């Protein structure tokens, strides 16, 4: 009871912390508060290890002062902090803390350990901080140290993993002077022995592995440069794609794709890459292969004005030529039957020009007389015309063409 009253009357009782590390940091900071303030003012002269022209930030100064106090209070000269404790000191996340560690690596060497034994107790996931070979010298008098640096004095900054504490500076300086003298001497170049076992070099292995499997173009080609497709290419694409498009339909799809803004920028280094690309295009083509099988199939979405005009006139020609077959069915006279056969057998352009120019057709004895309104050159097709006339009338043996 007496002890309880005494504890209640004690002025400003010291708080009880759950974590020993929190108590340690608080006691350490309270004990050296005056020295801490003095040091942080001097730390303004310390520059970053990653960029010697930029001074460390205020948070980095605070972190440096806290770790410096912990190391000095430790009999081993070490400071043990986890990432959580480090974040409590800085108010940053893990990535920002790692950046601060890099910026202070010329003063404090830090290493993360999965497990470490501290005074008989095993702690996991701890960062161990210690001074570098030149770190304590910088912290004791940073202003004087960095003034010497600006004057041109050599700065031995150690941030490597294999660093060892330098105890005898004179021996190091002597070693450096000997190294500089020896470096001036000419070093004999070692002769490389011939490959006696005739093994393949790494360069030869890579050349074999990455050798080109297909014949390359001298310059990459676009889709428009592969138009039109040949019959051999169409047969190969039908096999690869599994779609039975005709050569006319394949060429129309290729030409339409080559006019699209995005597809027109495609470039192919070889014929094999082009065929592989187009086989996938025809495989997933939405048009029906049966409906596009007619020879008059055209895609006019991106066609030029001249092509649209030509295609429209071609439709008119087809309609004109189709009327002769219907007339021959309705009225099967020798003249109508002959005109229907000409419309079906002759090339479309020749048949259209001939039928549109005919004024009259007459079968007399063994001669077929054709009277034309315009002068036409049909000398190469006279045999075909005579053959169709003989199919209508077997007595016909000669053909006469007159221009009215």
Over its length of 404 residues, how does the chain's per-residue pLDDT go in tens digits? Answer: 444 444 455 555 555 544 555 555 555 555 554 444 445 556 777 888 888 778 888 888 888 888 888 888 887 888 888 888 888 888 888 888 888 888 888 888 888 888 887 777 777 888 888 888 878 878 777 777 776 655 444 444 444 444 444 444 455 455 555 555 555 444 445 555 555 566 777 776 666 555 556 678 889 999 999 999 999 999 999 999 999 999 999 999 999 999 888 888 999 999 999 999 999 999 999 999 888 888 778 887 777 767 766 676 777 777 878 888 888 888 888 888 888 888 888 887 788 778 878 888 888 778 888 888 777 777 788 888 888 888 888 778 888 887 76
185 Cβ contact partners less than 8 Å away, ≥ 6 residues apart: none
CA distance 345 to 351: 8
Max CA-CA distance within the chain?
Answer: 154
- The H or E element containing residue 95 is helix 94-103
Can you give the pLDDT at residue 315? 73
Long-range pairs of 23-32 with CB within 8 A, sequence gap ≥ 24: 24/70, 25/66, 25/70, 25/89, 28/69, 28/70, 28/73, 29/66, 29/69, 32/69
Q: Which residue has the tokens 């007496």?
A: 2
The alpha carbons of the chain give a radius of gyration, in whole angstroms, of 48
Measured CA to CA, the distance from residue 146 to residue 142 in angstroms comes to: 6
pLDDT value of residue 363? 83
Q: SS3 string of 356-377?
A: HHEEEEEEECCEEEEEECCCCC
- CATH level 3 topology of 307-403: GMP Synthetase; Chain A, domain 3 (3.30.300)
How far the first Cα of the chain sits from its last, in Å, is 144
Closest CA to 121 of 21, 11, 237, 4: 21
In which residue are the tokens 């794709």 written? Answer: 257
Q: How many residues does the chain have?
A: 404
State the pLDDT at residue 336: 86
Instruction: Tell me which residue of 19, 136, 124, 21 sits closest to 79, measured CA to CA.
Output: 21
CA distance 234 to 226: 12
DSSP letter at 228 equals S
Burial of 376 per CB tally in 10 Å (0-12, 13-18, 19+):
middle
pTM score, whole prediction: 0.32
Query: Rounded CA gap, 321 and 347, in Å?
Result: 11
Where do the structural domains in the chain lie, given as residue ranges? 20-159, 216-283, 307-403
Residue among 319, 330, 358, 331 at smallest CA distance from 342: 358
pLDDT at 194: 58
């Amino acid at each position: 009871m007496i002890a309880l009253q005494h504890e209640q009357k004690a002025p400003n009782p010291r708080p009880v912390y759950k974590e020993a590390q929190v108590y340690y940091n608080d006691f350490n900071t309270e004990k050296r508060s005056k020295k801490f303030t003095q040091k942080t003012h001097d730390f303004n002269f310390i520059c970053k290890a990653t960029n010697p022209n930029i001074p460390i930030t205020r948070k980095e100064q605070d972190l440096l002062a806290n770790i410096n106090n912990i190391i000095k209070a430790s009999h081993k000269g070490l400071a043990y902090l986890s990432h959580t404790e480090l974040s409590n000191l800085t108010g940053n996340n893990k990535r920002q803390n790692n950046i601060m560690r890099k910026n202070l690596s010329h003063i404090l060497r830090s290493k993360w350990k999965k497990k470490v034994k501290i005074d008989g107790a095993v702690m996991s996931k701890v960062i161990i901080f210690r001074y570098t070979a030149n770190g304590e010298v910088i912290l004791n008098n940073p202003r004087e140290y960095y003034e010497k640096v600006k004057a041109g004095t050599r700065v031995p900054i150690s941030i490597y993993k294999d660093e060892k504490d330098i105890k005898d500076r004179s021996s190091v300086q002597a070693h450096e002077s000997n190294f500089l003298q020896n470096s001036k001497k000419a070093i004999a170049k070692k002769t490389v022995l011939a490959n006696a076992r005739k093994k393949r070099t790494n360069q030869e292995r890579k050349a074999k592995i990455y050798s080109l499997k297909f014949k390359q173009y001298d310059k990459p080609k676009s889709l428009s440069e592969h138009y039109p497709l040949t019959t051999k290419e169409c047969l190969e694409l039908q096999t690869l794609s599994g779609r039975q498009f005709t050569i006319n339909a394949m060429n129309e799809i290729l030409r339409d794709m080559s006019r699209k803004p995005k597809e027109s920028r495609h470039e192919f280094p070889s014929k094999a890459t082009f065929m592989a690309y187009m086989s996938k295009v025809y495989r997933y083509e939405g048009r029906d292969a049966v409906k596009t099988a007619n020879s008059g199939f055209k895609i006019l979405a991106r066609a030029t004005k001249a092509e649209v005009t030509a295609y429209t006139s071609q439709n008119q020609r087809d309609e004109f030529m189709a009327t002769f077959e219907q007339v021959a069915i309705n009225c099967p006279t020798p003249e109508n039957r002959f005109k229907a056969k000409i419309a079906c057998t002759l090339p479309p352009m020749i048949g259209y020009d001939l039928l549109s120019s005919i004024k009259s057709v007459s079968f007399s004895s063994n001669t077929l007389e054709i009277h034309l309104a315009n002068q036409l050159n049909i000398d190469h097709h006279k045999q075909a015309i005579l053959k169709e006339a003989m199919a209508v009338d077997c007595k016909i043996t000669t053909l006469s063409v007159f221009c009215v």
